[in-house]
Amino acid sequence: MKEKYKYHIKGKEEVVLSLHEDVFSPTGTSEEIIKAVSENISKPGKLLDLGCGSGIVGFALQRMGIASNLYASDISLQAVNLVRKNAEENNIDCEARDGGVFIPWAGEKFNYIVDDISGISQEIAEISPWFKNTMCESGKDGADLVVEAIKQAPLYLLDGGKFFFPVLSLSNVDRIISSAERVFENVERLSHKAWTLPDEMKPYIEKLKELKNEGLINYEEKFGLTLWYTDIYVAYNSMKK
């Protein structure tokens, strides 16, 4: 078992999570998702944390009062077991199920789906510090799982529901956004955050260049640093009349 992870919420009890080396740990992108979602939901609702890892996104949104009923799933049974343990330790009511993308949620519908399924190029995942013992079967351009989630999402959204998803520049941004625009009437970018390339990945810059030249990922050189980006998007359809 790894060290505890703490997420502070102004005016609320903090979320304290146990982590596990075989379960995806919270990242800066997780925190960006929480921030963007919390700033863009005014009415609490039934919320699904898709690709929940250790549970941070759903737990934080539940504690903020945004998730009136919280559901979470992950392809990793180990992750789901960890979420159940973390939910109990944080006194959070959460129904957690294991299975890929929407498989565990047949017949269910939600007001909000927050997607945090692996969204970086599989070749980058292999050299990154984020996926050491966890799987990332997102394809060479990193978009396979996110695109799959986008395609299926409308079936699992209640009328007026919203689908939130991160788009990382270490994946094929154009493929993900064009897929969302085909499926949803409205696709809006909520936030944009830059990150420096982790030190562990610097020896592999030629691999990144190769993927960039193929149009599969993107990054920029600025201020002498290698920068990549996380954008958080929301997609939704107009309410049925």
Partner 1 sequence: MIDEDKVINIVSQILQLENGEITSVSSSENTENWDSLNHLSILISLDQLLGGRAANIPELATATSIKEIVTLLNKNIDD
Least separation in angstroms between CB 104 and partner 1:
34
- C-beta separation of 70 from 95 below 8 A: yes
Region of residue 91 (phi > 0: left; psi between -120 and 50: alpha; otherwise: beta)? left
Residue with smaller CB distance to partner 1, 107 or 224: 224
Q: Tell me which of 2, 12, 182, 222 binds partner 1, using CB under 8 A.
A: 222
Size of the site for partner 1 (CB under 8 A): 11
Residue with smaller CB distance to partner 1, 18 or 229: 229
- C-beta separation of 120 from 109 below 8 A: no
Q: Tell me which of 88, 155, 225, 238 binds partner 1, using CB under 8 A.
A: 225
Least separation in angstroms between CB 70 and partner 1:
28
9 Cβ contact list (under 8 Å, min separation 6) = 15, 60, 63, 64
Residue with smaller CB distance to partner 1, 127 or 227: 227
CA dist 155 to 103, 167, 189, 239, Å? Answer: 12, 21, 22, 14
Contact pattern for partner 1 over residues 28 through 67, marking x by CB under 8 A: x---------------------------------------
* Candidate segments 1-9, 149-157, 206-214, 222-230, binder of partner 1 by CB under 8 A: 222-230
Residue with smaller CB distance to partner 1, 214 or 220: 220
- C-beta separation of 131 from 24 below 8 A: yes
Contacting partner 1 within 183-202 (CB under 8 A): 193-196
Q: Is 130 in the site for partner 1 (CB under 8 A)?
A: no
Residue with smaller CB distance to partner 1, 183 or 227: 227
Q: Tell me which of 224, 239, 240, 241 binds partner 1, using CB under 8 A.
A: 224
Residue with smaller CB distance to partner 1, 223 or 241: 223
- C-beta separation of 3 from 54 below 8 A: no
Least separation in angstroms between CB 31 and partner 1:
10
Q: Tell me which of 40, 97, 227, 237 binds partner 1, using CB under 8 A.
A: 227
Residues lying near partner 1 in the complex (CB under 8 A) are found at: 28, 193-196, 220, 222-225, 227
